[in-house]
């Protein structure tokens, strides 16, 4: 057995042992049904989180982010392939880049919006952006940030800058998957692109914008060619392109979402499709698959915990929160 396989064997065993502590559908339901926010927060300690029962919404966000940062840092040290962990961390580099763009557009400081979960320390990224030292950053990230900053300066439109960063993120994600030589990670990147493209198509059709605008926001690298999506013509045409794949259930809701129905069920179906893809990792005893699935599960867990805790803290009805949660048992 190679050193890489031996390392994955040990790591996979550790992650399998941790899986029972992840926030699942039953635990989430108990948090929703708890008599108070404080009791809901205490239930989350069973998943390894600190007690957040006396925290404000801002403090909850900081605690959840810290939890994710610590897990990602640990897994980066334990993984025999840094590229696999980087495939998840780079998302936060691009999140930070978007925060810096928006902060500049609004004339405010981005400090509290920056995440430490990326590959580049937030302070370093902020300094590189403000001083124009993009060559010191990872190549694709630096080039995208430089272009986005120039577009913002020229147009004053942060959405156009965001489009540049989104395209660069998905491009770099696909490259990271290829570099890791993981077909499972490549498949994960592909379904993320498909999900993002289907969501974008539905939102833009709802807005009544045309093919040219849709074409400008779609990402390459999915199972459905972005050109075919842009030229589909209407909601039924777009839905037909995804009707026989992993996003079949979401596609069935696309036309209703475009015609004015709520977006919640449609977007949840898109997220669930990604979760169902990741569930196949349960069939793999060791390798990159359990690591990929675990990191994605941690991200899903934190998203759900944030929705439940901030929702309960704000007095939002449990039924309303439940509608927005993706399937945690996928």
Separation of alpha carbons 259 and 262, rounded Å: 9
User: For residue 174, what are the CA distances in angstroms to 22, 165, 178, 221?
Assistant: 27, 14, 6, 7
Separation of alpha carbons 205 and 228, rounded Å: 15
- In the structure encoding, which two tokens stand for residue 147, read together? 């272009």
**SS3 sequence, 124-167?**
HHHHHHHHCCHHHCCHHHHHHHHHHHHHHHHHCCHHHHHHHHHH
Which of 179, 189, 2, 187 is CA-nearest to residue 81? 179
Q: How many C-alpha atoms does 311 have within 13 Å on its Cβ side?
A: 22
Domains in the chain and their CATH numbers?
82-181 (1.20.1690)
Task: Report mean pLDDT in 10-residue bins for the chain, 330 residues.
Answer: 83 92 91 94 93 93 92 92 91 94 86 87 92 93 94 89 93 91 91 94 87 88 92 87 90 86 87 88 84 91 94 92 78
Q: What is the pLDDT of residue 116?
A: 87
Which of 297, 294, 284 is CA-nearest to residue 327? 297
- In the structure encoding, which two tokens stand for residue 121, read together? 């320390």
Q: What is the pLDDT of residue 329?
A: 62
Q: How far does CA 40 lie from the centroid of its chain?
A: 24
Q: What is the pLDDT of residue 107?
A: 84
Beta strands in the chain (DSSP E): none
Contact 328, 25 (CB under 8 A): yes
Q: What is the pLDDT of residue 206?
A: 87
User: For residue 156, what are the CA distances in angstroms to 88, 93, 95, 104?
Assistant: 30, 22, 19, 10
């Amino acid at each position: 057995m190679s050193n890489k396989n031996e390392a994955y064997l040990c790591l996979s065993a550790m992650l399998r042992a941790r899986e029972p502590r992840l926030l699942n559908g039953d635990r989430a339901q108990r948090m929703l049904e708890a008599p108070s926010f404080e009791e809901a927060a205490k239930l989350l300690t069973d998943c390894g989180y600190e007690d957040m029962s006396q925290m404000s919404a801002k403090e909850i966000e900081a605690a959840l982010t810290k939890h994710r940062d610590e897990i990602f840092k640990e897994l980066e040290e334990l993984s025999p392939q840094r590229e696999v962990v980087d495939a998840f961390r780079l998302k936060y580099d691009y999140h930070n880049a978007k925060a810096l763009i928006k902060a500049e557009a609004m004339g405010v400081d981005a400090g509290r919006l920056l995440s430490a979960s990326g590959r580049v320390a937030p302070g370093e990224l902020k300094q590189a952006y403000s001083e124009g030292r993009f060559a010191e950053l990872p190549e694709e990230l630096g080039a995208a940030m430089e272009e986005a900053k120039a577009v913002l300066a020229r147009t004053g439109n942060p959405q156009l800058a965001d489009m540049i960063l989104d395209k660069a993120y998905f491009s770099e994600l696909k490259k990271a998957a290829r570099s890791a030589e993981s077909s499972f990670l490549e498949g994960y990147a592909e379904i993320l692109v498909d999900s993002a493209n289907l969501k974008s198509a539905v939102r833009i059709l709802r807005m009544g914008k045309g093919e040219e605008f849709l074409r400008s926001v779609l990402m390459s690298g999915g199972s459905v060619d972005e050109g075919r999506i842009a030229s589909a013509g209407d909601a039924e045409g777009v839905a037909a392109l995804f009707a026989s794949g992993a996003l079949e259930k979401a596609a069935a809701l696309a036309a209703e979402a475009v015609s004015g129905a709520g977006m919640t069920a449609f977007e949840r179906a898109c997220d669930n499709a990604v979760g169902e893809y990741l569930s196949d990792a349960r069939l793999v005893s060791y390798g990159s698959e359990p690591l990929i699935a675990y990191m994605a599960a941690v991200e899903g867990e934190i998203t759900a915990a944030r929705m439940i805790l901030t929702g309960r803290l704000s007095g939002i009805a449990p039924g309303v929160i439940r509608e927005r949660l993706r399937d945690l048992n996928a």
